[in-house]
Structure 1
């Protein structure tokens, strides 16, 4: 998922779920876990914002 987000920071949950092959609900759960662990953050509003993969 992180590599797909790096390629397209404006990717939607629906697009991610289609490419990964899991449900949108599971995709949302995985995004929540990635954000909680500090690998991913959201910049801007839900519509019009983008994702940033945190590189450490």
Structure 2
């Protein structure tokens, strides 16, 4: 039961992250955390998951770079 809920929450979170990146490719982890309502480390975890699944990639440097959504 718990695992399923966690999976759904993670899916919702990653969906929100993708939507926010679409709106603003230069969005920061801090901004994502504030808009979604989870910690920056939670955002970092979700971004890493999205990168592993080849859903997003970072373009440019950590500061001043942007996110690119991959098909």
Q: Which residue of 1 aligns with 2:68?
A: 52
Q: Which residue of 2 aligns with 1:7?
A: 23
- Structure with the larger RCO, 1 or 2 (CA within 8 Å, 6+ apart): 1
SS in 1 for 2:58: strand
Number of aligned pairs? 55
- Work out which of the residue numbers 9, 14, 32 in structure 2 matches 1:16: 32
> TM-score, with normalisation over the residues of structure 2?
0.75
Q: If each structure's helix is expressed as a fraction of its own residues, which one has the higher value?
A: 2
Query: C-alpha root-mean-square deviation of aligned residues, in Å?
Result: 0.5
Q: Find runs of 4+ consecutive structure 1 residues off by over 6 angstroms.
A: none
> TM-score, with normalisation over the residues of structure 1?
0.95
Q: Which has the larger radius of gyration?
A: 2
Q: Which residue of 1 aligns with 2:52?
A: 36
